[in-house]
Chains A and B, each alone.
Chain A
Amino acid sequence: MITKKIFITFIFISQLLLSNSYSVEPDEILQNPKQELRARNISKYIRCMVCQNQSIDESDAPLAKDLRILIRNQIKDGKNDEEIYKFLTDRYGDFILLKPAFKLNTLALWLLPFVFVLVGIFIVFFHNKKSKKI
């Protein structure tokens, strides 16, 4: 009975750990740990265009692998993060960024939540005033 419990716990914990797994393969990893960390940080914010709701850091799709290698090559070539993001958005558009840029055409996306909060506060305030009168 106890062994069964331990077994179930083991499965449960290993599943939790697995859910945090990444798709970077050993042959992709850069020897310079600083450069590798930069590559990982960029990859986390780049959408896998094939699976669309995963970053290329998590995706097993061949295109994701190609892009991971390409990012690493560009880092080795001495490109900065901005240049790498620009290279990718020039080809795949803003959609490739998992976090949309703060631009004129994404203004609504960024600001509407705050507008709604303000409207909400206004409604609550107005409602309170009304109920006080009654």
Chain B
Amino acid sequence: MKKNIFIVSFIFFILILLVFFYLLTIERNPTELPSNLLNKNVPKFEADSLIKKEKFISSEEFGNEIVLVNFFATWCRPCLEEHNYIKRFSNEEKIRIIGINYKDNKKAAINWLSKLGNPYSNIPIDKDGRVAIDWGVYGIPETFVITSKGIIKYRHVGPITEKVYKKINLLIEKIE
């Protein structure tokens, strides 16, 4: 009887150790959280557009093709870093890119884009950050992949790197 309890508790202990080892070894970044909006419809919103006279109405923009939504601002240094990747995405035929200009200066944003190139098909202005809250954004740059049915499939927090660029491309091929 005593021996049995000893064996059972020993196995239990080893199992707990294994769980901890598993958690240590799997590749994960505890600061990176999955979006709560994954597999849900894009939030509905209306906003002024930075480059178009007509208002940006989300229900008209999503649901036709695969869309990349990128929150950016001119004051955000990592946004500058990832800008080339956003441009690379814009060269691909399959996707359209919408840039949400987060808490930015209108003039500065227009200058920034004319200097670096504008990869965005439309740019709604999120002046007070309210749109970003509806998207569950907590620090720009953040990029979302939206399916042709208007459903959020992926969220990346932070600048797009080569690795992330490839990952998003693979995902787009998959959901196409």
Contacts and interface: CB of A to CB of B under 8 A. Distances in A.
B33 A91 contact: no
Given A52-B31, A126-B5, A92 B136 contact: yes
A4 to B, nearest CB: 44
A93 B35 CA distance: 7
B91 to A, nearest CB: 32
A10 B62 CA distance: 60
Nearest to B38: A93
Q: Secondary structure at chain B's binding surface: helix, strand, loop or mixed?
A: loop
Interface in B7-51: 31, 33-37
B137 to A, nearest CB: 8
Interface of B: 2, 5, 31, 33-37, 103, 128-130, 133-136, 138-139
A49 B129 CA distance: 14
Interface of A: 49-50, 52, 62-63, 66-67, 70, 89-93, 95, 126, 130
A57 B128 CA distance: 19
Contacts of A130: 2
**Most chain A C-beta atoms within 10 Å of own C-beta, residue among B35, B103, B133:** B133
B133 A66 contact: yes
Contact of A63 (B5, B31, B138): B138
Contacts of B136: 91-93
A62 B31 CA distance: 18
Contacts of A50: 138-139
B79 to A, nearest CB: 16
A52 B33 CA distance: 11
A66 B128 contact: yes
Contacts of B31: 52
